[in-house]
Amino acid sequence: MTIAFEAERKRRGRGVDLSWPILIGFAAILSVLVLLPMGWLAYYSVTDKAGAFTLGNFAQLVSDPVFLDPLVTTLILATSSSIVCCLAAAPMGWLVARTDMPLRRTVRALVTASFVTPPFLGAIAWELLAAPNSGLLNQIFRSVTGAAADEHLFNIYSLAGLVFVISCYTFPYVFVLVANALDRIPGDLEDASAILGGRMWTTARRVTIPLALPALVAGALVAFLQAMTLFGSPAILALPAGFHTMTTKIWSLFQYPPKPELAAAASLPLLVLTVVLLRAQHVILGRRGYAVVGERQGAPRLVRLGALKWPALAASFFVLLCAVFLPYGALFNAAFSHVASQFVWFNNFTLHNVEFVFFELSDTRYAIKNTFLLGTLAASVGTVLAVVIGYINARQAITGWRTLGLLATAPVAIPGIVLGVGLFLSYTRLPVLLSAGCDALPAGLQFAACKTAAQSTQLYGTLWILLIAFVTISLPAAYQQMQSAFRAVHPDLEEASRILGATRLQALGHITAPLLRTSVIATWCFIFVGVIRELSAAIMLFTSQTKVVSVLIFDLNESGDLGAIAVLGLLMLAITFAVVILANQFPGLGGNVRLRT
């Protein structure tokens, strides 16, 4: 065995192993993806228009009501949304995980439908439902009660309406965390409480709820974070109501005349608060109050609701009615009605909106092509990055692997609108600096390649900058999923391959990656779906030739073409669900794809 190994080692020594340069190259790419936009964001936040150092941008943020009001509104919005999400999702999670409520699997599936629905699309759907004058629900209210034409039951263009809509599409985060935590609590603990005389509700109050409380608090933090960093829903509902959140205010600073210095300074508080909240979530989830000793665990004990099972099911479906059924119904109604604010019937059914979107609206073709192209490229590049970085971290393949893992996770702390600002500043300013550097060279040293290299960094206005944004945004979740998958594969398999002469990359490609094909496919689908629904970063980086479907929907909303929006929205949902269904039908996935959020 020793002789064979020695001979194999000598044989490998005569070849060229490119594993180390390639792995280091991936580390450099990751550093550029994360550090470059954040570096330019920090630089712009402490400079004035002349490029001189100043703290005046931050002073204006904390003293000018134009910026203070959006900040206060954002905090109220995020706090209210997280409370509403906990009140709605925590009981649903308990009902699905620990009771005998009927249709529990159906409820879980419908919560997933809410999760994959883009929040900005949900906001538009609720415009159709609850606009003061034209909303379908308000029309029903007036027809039933005989109220005057200027009276309404709901007004979605308000802070309360915005809180409601955002809660409809952030409560799945709380639901998933709470339900998964309850699923993992061994039934033996509840049996012990029952043996000691604890009644059902006493056991729930003293055993089950305390063990699930860390997940509930972490879910509240995630809901707060999502509500704080969303752009689409506030832009659609808050701006017509006459108020800003921080994300819409940052976006407005890039309207004419642009104020990139103030936008950079306004982005940093969001970034810092996001980092603090994510750290708090990590601490909370890392301090669970129990540990399982031994191999066998008792199955969770289901609480029998008796006569309460049907009211519990009705309450769950009421939440889903607000998040799924009513919005989807409103979009379908608008897509096939002559007027989006009228109920579709045989006398006003039309395919005009479909014909307009696919055959008359010139932007549709480019937007769909760009979306599919960027989705495919971002999913492929992001998955490769996640596989390689996850491998480096799980196998400690190069020096500095901990730092690399930190960089791969760092974008989760960067809100989409903030990343868009950082990328815009990076790839509009960098080419100017490089060209100036080329011009500053002595006449004898100036050469055309220098100018060409400088111009090649001008990515704004191209699909490349959107690709960079989408890969960066999706990398943390993809990396976490692949890292967990690598930890489930013992390194002895790779070591055996390397003993037989394979390099690290060959062992990864021929041994480990095929074993992880389920996780690789799930990661690819996760990124693809995320790219389709991404708006916050895209709204800062698109041009007329680089629109994606989400940006096209946002533009159509500003022009009031709700029928076309409904068609595009249904198309986006159909693509999303098709990808998820196909992923679950893929051989080897077994219908149990789990995407880490």
Residue 299 lies in a domain: no
How does 449-468 read in b/e, with b if 16+ C-beta sit within 10 Å? ebeeebeebbbbeebbbbbb
The residue ranges of the chain whose pLDDT is under 70 are 1-19, 190, 198, 200, 284-300, 432, 434, 436, 439-456, 585-597
Q: What CATH number corresponds to the domain at position 333?
A: 1.10.3720.10
Is 134 within a domain?
Answer: yes
Structural domain includes residue 56: no
Residue 277 in any domain: the answer is: yes
Residue 233 lies in a domain: yes
pLDDT at 520: 86
The three-class DSSP label of residue 99 is strand
Q: What is the model's pLDDT at position 9?
A: 47
108: burial class by Cβ within 10 Å (0-12, 13-18, 19+)?
middle
SS3 assignment, position 59:
helix
Instruction: Compute the distance between CA of residue 23 and CA of residue 8 in angstroms, rounded to an integer.
Output: 23
Identify whether the C-beta of residue 292 lies closer than 8 Å to the C-beta of residue 298. no
Q: What is the DSSP string of 318-349?
A: HHHIIIIIHHHHHHHHHHTBSSTTS---TTTB
- Give how many domains the chain has, as a whole number: 1
Q: Do residues 581 and 529 lie in contact, with contact meaning Cβ atoms separated by under 8 Å?
A: no
Q: Could you report the per-residue pLDDT of 512-529, keeping only the tens digit for each? A: 777 788 888 888 988 999
Q: CA-based angle 376:377:382, to the nearest 5? A: 105
Enter the pTM of the model: 0.86
Helix axes 56-63, 65-98, angle to 10 degrees: 70
State the pLDDT at residue 140: 95
The residue among 273, 264, 526 whose CA lies nearest residue 417 is 264
Does 303 map to a domain? no
**Is 10 a domain residue?**
no
Examine residue 402 and state whether it is found in any structural domain, yes or no: yes
Beta-bridged to residue 47, according to DSSP, are: 53
Structural domain range at position 277: 18-44+66-289+309-340+352-585
Kindly state the tokens that stand for 218.
């972490």
